């Protein structure tokens, strides 16, 4: 089963397709989604990437966590389950 990865500190011009293109260097990308503001449609600076295997997920973390991308230092780690809002 694949691990869903949190990717933070993304450049604001990043798209889901571009995020997928970057992470394919670590293996097969099942899905990539940049989170956008629902009113402006602009990137909120983070997203999620799902790799096809645990090994590829770990490789992606090693390759991209702390990596400089377009002048921003990426934060990549295992995504935590969404907590219900109170």
Segments making up each domain of the chain, as ranges: 4-78
Task: Give Rg (Cα) of the chain.
Answer: 13
pLDDT exceeds cutoff 90 at 83: no
Q: Which residues contact 58 (CB under 8 A, 6 or more apart)?
A: 3
Name the CATH architecture for the domain at 4-78: 2-Layer Sandwich (3.30)
Rounded Cα gap, residues 42 and 59, in angstroms: 29
> Each residue of 9-66: pLDDT tens digit?
999 999 999 999 999 999 999 999 999 999 998 899 999 999 999 999 999 999 999 9
Whether pTM exceeds 0.85: yes
Backbone angles phi, psi at 17, to 5 degrees: -65, -45
Q: Which residues contact 49 (CB under 8 A, 6 or more apart)?
A: 4, 5, 7, 19, 20, 23, 29, 31, 32, 33, 60
């Amino acid at each position: 089963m694949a691990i869903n990865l949190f990717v933070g500190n993304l450049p604001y011009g990043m798209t889901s397709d571009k995020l997928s293109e970057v992470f394919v260097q670590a293996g097969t990308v099942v899905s990539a989604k940049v989170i956008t503001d629902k009113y402006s449609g602009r990137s909120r600076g983070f997203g999620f990437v799902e790799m096809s295997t645990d090994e590829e997920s770990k490789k992606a973390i090693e390759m991209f966590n702390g990596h400089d991308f377009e002048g921003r230092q990426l934060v990549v780690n295992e995504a935590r389950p969404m907590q219900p809002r109170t």
